[in-house]
Amino acid sequence: MQLPTSDERVWMNQVYRTTIKRILDAFFGVLLLICLSPLMLVLAIWIKLDSKGPVLFKQERVGRNGKRFTIYKFRSMSDDAPHQMATSEFGYVRIIGVNSK
């Protein structure tokens, strides 16, 4: 049996690293979800009792390579907050970069 070449070892090392990282990410993600689910349940009940409207805020965002995805967050403002105030009152500042002209 022949020993793997340097390129084959590098490739095998990368495959093992990405596979192990994926498994560990999934494991700890599920573990944290299980541990934090009672807190998330209490938070959801609190939001629902405090104000009308949905518990979760749903927003579409753009990720890597322009791929769109949906993010869900616990709602922290009233359901109609974006419509209560004119956007001119927010005083937006556009940041275009350091030392750009």
Provide φ and ψ at 58, rounded to 5°. Answer: -110, 130
Under 8 Å between Cβ of 75 and 54: yes
The confidence score (pLDDT) of residue 22 equals: 93
Reading the chain (101 residues) residue by residue, the pLDDT tens digits are 666 666 777 777 888 888 999 999 999 999 999 999 999 999 999 989 988 888 998 889 998 898 999 999 988 776 666 555 555 455 555 555 555 44
The confidence score (pLDDT) of residue 52 equals: 84
Q: How far apart are CA 29 and CA 17, in angstroms?
A: 18
The confidence score (pLDDT) of residue 14 equals: 86
The confidence score (pLDDT) of residue 12 equals: 78
